[in-house]
C-alpha cells in the first residue's frame, strides 16, 4: 500500500516539479474524501496539478472553466427535446465525472458557484425535479485567483467551509524552474502518464487512512487548538466542529501517507494551515485574508503538551 502512495507521489512529481509538500497535501485531501481549493496566481500550475492527480488516480476527469456568463445548466446538464423519440432526453453536464476541475471558480456568478457547491455537499444533483446521483468517488478541485484580482466574486465563508483544504502552490524553486524550462511541454508529459491507482485501491487507501490511531493526548492537542481559536480575541470566530473533524481526518491521512499507523503532533501541524486558513478571519480585518497569519499564531501559541 505504501509503495502505491510513494509511486503516486513520485509520478505526480515528474509533472509538477518541486512541489512535493503540496502534492502530498492534495493527495491527503482527496484520500480523506474532501474537496480541494487551490488558490494562486494564474500560471502557477494549478490546472496541471489537478489534471495530473486525475490521471494518476485513474479518475474520469472533466474541467469546467468558470466565467461570468456560466449558467448552472452548463455545469449540471440539460434536457433537450429529441425529434426522433419526441421526448426530452437528459444530457448530463460536465459535473457527472469523478474528478471535476472547477477552474477559476471565483470568476463565475454566485448562482453558478452555488450550483457546484451544492453538488459538492450533497453528492447528487436535482435537475428538473429529478434527483440524480453523482459518480463515486466524487472530487472537486477548484482553483481560484486571489480575491483581490479584478472581476471576481469571492466565495462566502459558508461555501469556503465546503472545501476540506485550501492550498497555495507558490513559485517553484530555481532548480525546478530550470528543469521546467528545459523539459518537454507538460501537456505532452501528462498524456504519457499511467494511472497507478484504480478505484478499488483508492477505496482501500481511504479505509486504511481512517484506521490510523489517534491517541487521547493528540485529541487533547486538537481540542486545545480549536479552543484557542474560539477564545483568543484576535480570531473573529472559532473553528466549527466540522473544522475540528477536518483537522483530525486530514492528520490521519497525512500520517498514513507518511507510513505510520498513529498520528503525531507534526501531522496535525503539517496539514493545519491548509485546513484552517480559509476557515478563519482576523477580528481586526474581518473581510481580509488573515488566515495564514492566524494559522501560524495558532501553531506557535498552542503547545503539544498542555
Partner 1 sequence: MTSYQIPRNSLAWMLLAQVAVSAPHIVRLPIWITLVCVACGLWRIMVYQGRWNYPSRWVKVALAIFGFAGIPLGYDKLTGVEPAIALLIVAFFLKLLEMHHKQDAYVVILLGYFVAITEFLFFQSIPYTIYMFFSVLLITTALIGLHQTKTHIQPMRTFRTAAILLGQALPLMIVLFVLFPRISPLWTVPLQSSMGRTGVTDSMSPGDIASLAQSDELAFRVTFDGQVPRNRQLYWRGLVLSEFDGKTWTTSNGLVQRGVWRSNQDQPPWVDAIEMRGEEFSYNIVLEATQQNWLFALTMPEVPQNNKLVVLAHYNIASRIPIRNTLRYQLTSHLGSVLSRELNDYWKGQYTKIPLYSNPRTQVLAKKMLTEASSSREYIDDVLRMYNQQEFIYTLKPPLLGRNSIDEFIIDSKKGFCEHYASSFVFMMRAAGIPARVVVGYQGGEYNPRGNYFSVRQFDAHAWTEVWLKDQGWVRFDPTSAVAPERIERGLEAAVEDENTFLFDSPLSIFRYRQLLWLTDLRLQLDAIGHYWDAWVVGYTPETQMSLLSKYLGDMDKQKIYFLMLGVFFAILGTIGVFILSKRSSAVLRPAEIEYLKFCRILEKKGYRRHHGEGPNDFAARVSLSLPSLRDEINSVTKAYIEAVYVNEVEADLLSLKKAVRVVRFKSLASVD
For partner 1, the closer of residues 60 and 301 by Cβ is 301
Closest separation in Å from C-beta 151 to partner 1: 28
Closest separation in Å from C-beta 54 to partner 1: 33
Cell of 34: 474532501
For partner 1, the closer of residues 128 and 266 by Cβ is 266
For partner 1, the closer of residues 142 and 247 by Cβ is 247
The CA R_g of the chain, rounded to the nearest whole Å, is 20
Binding footprint of partner 1 on the chain (CB under 8 A): 213, 215-218, 220, 261-266, 269, 283-284, 286, 299-306
3-state helix, strand, coil in the chain (%, to 5): 50, 15, 35
For partner 1, the closer of residues 127 and 227 by Cβ is 227
Distances (CA, A) of 218 to 65, 230, 305: 41, 19, 9
Closest separation in Å from C-beta 214 to partner 1: 8
Whether residue 159 contacts residue 147, with contact meaning beta carbons closer than 8 Å, is answered with no
Closest separation in Å from C-beta 282 to partner 1: 10
State phi, psi for 262 to the nearest 5 degrees.
Answer: -140, 155
CA-wise closest residue to 210 among 89, 34, 4: 34
For partner 1, the closer of residues 193 and 304 by Cβ is 304
Closest separation in Å from C-beta 160 to partner 1: 22
Angstrom distance (rounded) from CA 23 to CA 170: 12
Amino acid at each position: 500500500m505504501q509503495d502505491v502512495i510513494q509511486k503516486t507521489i513520485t509520478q505526480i512529481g515528474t509533472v509538477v516539479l518541486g512541489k512535493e509538500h503540496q502534492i502530498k497535501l492534495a493527495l491527503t485531501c482527496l484520500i480523506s474524501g474532501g474537496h480541494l481549493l487551490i488558490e494562486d496566481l494564474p500560471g502557477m500550475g494549478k490546472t496541471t496539478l489537478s489534471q495530473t492527480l486525475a490521471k494518476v488516480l485513474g479518475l474520469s476527469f472533466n474541467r469546467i472553466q468558470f466565467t461570468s456568463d456560466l449558467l448552472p445548466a452548463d455545469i449540471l446538464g440539460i434536457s433537450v427535446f429529441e425529434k426522433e423519440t419526441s421526448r426530452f432526453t437528459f444530457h448530463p453536464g460536465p459535473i457527472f465525472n469523478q474528478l471535476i476541475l472547477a477552474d477559476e471558480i471565483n470568476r463565475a456568478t454566485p448562482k453558478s458557484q452555488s450550483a457546484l457547491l451544492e453538488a459538492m455537499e450533497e453528492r447528487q444533483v436535482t435537475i428538473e425535479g429529478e434527483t440524480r446521483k453523482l459518480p463515486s468517488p466524487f472530487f472537486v478541485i477548484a482553483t481560484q485567483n486571489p480575491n483581490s484580482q479584478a472581476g471576481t466574486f469571492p466565495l462566502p465563508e459558508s461555501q469556503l467551509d465546503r472545501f476540506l483544504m485550501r492550498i497555495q502552490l507558490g513559485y517553484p524553486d530555481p532548480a525546478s524552474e530550470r528543469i521546467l524550462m528545459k523539459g518537454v511541454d507538460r501537456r505532452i508529459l501528462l498524456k504519457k502518464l499511467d494511472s497507478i491507482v484504480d478505484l478499488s485501491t483508492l477505496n482501500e487507501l481511504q479505509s486504511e487512512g481512517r484506521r490510523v490511531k489517534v491517541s487521547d493526548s493528540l485529541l487533547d492537542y486538537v481540542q486545545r487548538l480549536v479552543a484557542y481559536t474560539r477564545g483568543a480575541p484576535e480570531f473573529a470566530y472559532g473553528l466549527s466542529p466540522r473544522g475540528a473533524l477536518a483537522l483530525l481526518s486530514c492528520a490521519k491521512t497525512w500520517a498514513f501517507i507518511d507510513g505510520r499507523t498513529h498520528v503525531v503532533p507534526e501531522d496535525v501541524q503539517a496539514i493545519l494551515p491548509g485546513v484552517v486558513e480559509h476557515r478563519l478571519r482576523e477580528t481586526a480585518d474581518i473581510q481580509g485574508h488573515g488566515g495564514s497569519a492566524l494559522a501560524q499564531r495558532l501553531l506557535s501559541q498552542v503547545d503539544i503538551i498542555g
